[in-house]
Structure formats: C-alpha cells, structure tokens
Structure 1
C-alpha cells in the first residue's frame, strides 16, 4: 500500500506517537486530519508538517462518545473521503488495583476503549460504502499480556483486541482492514500523563519508558506495519518477546514479569 494521496485521520495527534506519525506521513504527500483535545497543539503540529494546506485540524475528545457521528461527518467532509483511521488517542494508568478508584477504571474504559469503538463505528458506514477502509489501532503489548500497576490500562487494551478482531472478521467482505499496533516502551510522555489511584496524573517518567524506543524509530516501524496491512505488529525492545512467551507458557510470562522492571 502506498500513502500518496491517501486521506489519513490520526487521533491523539497533539504529542508523542501521533505527532511524530503525522509529521512523518506528511512527507508522503498524504492528506491528514489531526485530532486531539488541545487545538493549539494541533495548530502547531500543522505548521510542522510538510504541506500544512493538506492538514485539517479537527478537535476531538474521546470521552464524548455521543459526538462521534457528527465529528466523523466533519472528517469525511474535509477532503471528501477517508482511507485510514489511526486510533492513537488514549491515556495510561499507574496504580495498584486495591487502591485504584473505580472512577479511574471507568475513565480508562471510556477513553481508551469506548471512545475508540464509538469513533470507529461512526466511520464504518463510510468504509463499507466505498468498499475500502483501514483501521489502525494503537493498542499495547499490555493488550496481549499484563503487568502490575496497569490493571485498568491492560483491561481497556485487551478489550480493543476483542472488538477489532470481530471487526476484521465481520467486514472482511467489505475490504475493511484492521492493524493492531502493540507498542512496548516508547520514550513519550505517556507515563507522565498516566492516571494514578485517585485520577491525578503521575507526573514522573518511568525508567523503562525513558529507556524505550525513540518515538521516531517507533513510527518508522509502525508505518511499515501499516503499509503491509499486518493484522498485529509488536514493536519494542526485549519486552515484545513477552507476547510469544505467553503463547508458550502463561505461567512463565507471569514469573518473568514479576522479576522484571515492568513494575
């Protein structure tokens, strides 16, 4: 698949993976729709892209699921069509299960799972009508195996895999593609912005996140996976092998995670 002249919609585009992805894809002469809550940051991002005139800023809050149909219509109207939706927006969490307010669990499910599902469902009739569309969903290795202090995050990411596996099956006949991108540790602000037990931001960077893949290196690998229309792509350093270890032995991955710095 080539990206030239494709219309690509990226959520969570104001920072981190989404920002780097938008800047990189703009070099392919794509038409981009960039979404996040912070309009000011999106406008700054637009100025960093190769062809700002081909970038449409569309503010979006994934927590407001009732607005997704109208926002999807605005996105389609921007360039007349959408080819790829990159579901990148979301938040993380760092706190023990016993201390975490149920409100935090609910927040993670509303944003990371239900927000992504609502937006994807709102765009689905467009993909079916044109008999082509590609969902790219930024999940996590934590959507394949879990680790301590991330229970709500793991739950939401696991749920995404269940939903989008069904999406891929139901709409294979409509030429609708699904690529699940599963990052390991990537050096972004995801840990600093992670919610703690009471819903406040952690504020600090995790050691493993700090030493994770450079975000631009990650994005190049992500783009390769999108181009190849992979079902799933595990992108990280040593931690990505946890997916294969779990397939062989759930007990072994349990022991390895307990001994690791995932905590």
Structure 2
C-alpha cells in the first residue's frame, strides 16, 4: 500500500461531482488541500459546487457526459491544459436501479452497464498512459456494497458494480510495478439522491427515496472516512453502517449464509 501524507497541491479529478458522493468527496479533498477538477454533465451545477469549496479559485469545472467518448477525450485534454497533471482519478459517476429482473428492459440493463461499467473503463483507459508515464497516481473506483452482495431490485446495478470491481483488480495487478495504485470503494447506504435517481424497469427515474438510504451515513462522514482510507493507501474500502459491513464479512466467510440472509431481507 502506497501511503500519501496529504493532498496539498495534488490534482484530484472527480466524476459525478455535481451532487451526492462526488460533491462530498470534492469538499473533503479541497479541505485537505487538493486542487479539484469537477466533472458532470451540467456546468452550472458544477460551478455551484466549485464556488462552495475551500479556495474555489484553485478548482475547475469541466463538464462532460462520461458515456460520450468524444466528450471524455475533450475533458481529459482540458484537465491537462488547466492542471498539467492528474494525481488521483476518482471514478464516481454512477446510476442505480430499483426494479425486479422480470420488470427490467434490456435497454435499462444496458443503460446501467454503460454508466457504471463501460464509461469508467473508457475514462480510466484514457488517463492511464499519463499515470504510467509519470509513474505515480491513484485510480479510484466507487463500486458499492451491492456489488459485493447482490440483492433484490438491484440486479443490473449489482452486476455493473461487481464488474468494475473485478476490472479494477486486474488493473491493479497489471500496474503494480509502475507506481500506479488502484483503490475500490464500496459504499453502503449514504444519504444522497441515489434512490430518487435510480432507474425503474422502464428506465425512468424512480422519483422517491427509500428508508435505508434516508437513514444512511451522512455524505460528509462518508467522504471523510473514504479520503482518510485513500491517504493510507488502502485498496479495498467498505464504508457503511453495521449491517452493510457485516454483510460483506458474511459474504467472504459463508456465501450460503449470506444468500439466506438476502432472501429474507426486506429491501426495495
């Protein structure tokens, strides 16, 4: 594990930075002295986040739809133009799901995989040559506890989050001798709009919250715990409440017990 004492002067590029976990991570990284590059689709929302960060003039908003490869390439060029380097890439942008498999269209299946897996892969492959050239840096993926467990109503989301975890494991092994570090974060329930924005079977936003998310960790608490773990060089980072953390341990020790627990769980 490659430790980093602090983020002072480091360039941290965060996707999905206009709200939720991305916004909270941006705020925490700025507090730690980083120069933050904020990316999401809407420039105005990014600017609203940027001006609220510590030392706002150190940070920059670069809008892009991460599912559009042309926009991603252009955003990458703008980051290098503005900051000349990248020290951390935080692949945070994501899309959740709340629908039974039988009710989920293939279009919705593909839409979730596009955002939560393929777009992360493409952005990372775009940035990777620069990391290899400078022989330093950390690539971070925000997966999910759902990607470790797999529960009702989240099949496509769980699959995409599990896929990016495995891809990250392979990447870590391939760049281990090149000074590039890879970390995966597995959030449990955190108070964000993730459930409100989650897709139903027809691919439309659910439009309402659920109890577990509403009672989850505060986003700023999640960000503090996450950045602290990243600075320690941790590679497998579970951040959540007791139930989620317990579930991840049971998944390793006794998968059959986990499957029984999930069948009985009242999740939606």
TM-score category of the 2 structures, normalised to the smaller one: over 0.9
Give the equivalent residue in structure 1 for 2:106: 102
SS of the aligned residue for 2:194 comes to coil
Give the equivalent residue in structure 2 for 1:181: 185
Contact 1:145/1:243, CA 8 A, preserved across alignment: yes
User: What is the aligned counterpart of 2:207 among 203, 206, 226?
Assistant: 203
- For the aligned residue pairs, the C-alpha RMSD in angstroms reads 1.0
Q: Which runs of 4+ in 1 moved over 4 A?
A: none
Contact 1:140/1:181, CA 8 A, preserved across alignment: yes
CA distance in 2, matches of 1:129, 1:258: 48
Deviation at 1:68, TM superposition (A): 2.5
TM-score by length of 2: 0.96
SS of the aligned residue for 1:187 comes to coil
Gaps of 5+ in 1: none
CA distance in 2, matches of 1:255, 1:233: 25
Is residue 212 of structure 1 aligned with residue 216 of structure 2?
yes
Give the equivalent residue in structure 1 for 2:230: 226
Which residues of 2 match residues 37-76 of structure 1 at below 5 A? 37-76=41-80
Is residue 254 of structure 1 aligned with residue 256 of structure 2?
no
- What whole-Å deviation, never above 9, does each CA across 1:187-210 have from its counterpart, x for those lacking one? 100000000000110011011011
User: What is the aligned counterpart of 1:192 among 182, 193, 196?
Assistant: 196
> Which deviates more from structure 2 when the two are superposed, residues 229-238 or residues 194-203?
229-238
TM-score by length of 1: 0.97
Give the equivalent residue in structure 1 for 2:248: 243
Deviation at 1:71, TM superposition (A): 2.1
CA distance in 2, matches of 1:46, 1:185: 25
Deviation at 1:66, TM superposition (A): 4.0
> Which deviates more from structure 2 when the two are superposed, residues 178-187 or residues 249-258?
249-258
Deviation at 1:261, TM superposition (A): 3.1
Deviation at 1:164, TM superposition (A): 0.6
Contact 1:5/1:30, CA 8 A, preserved across alignment: yes
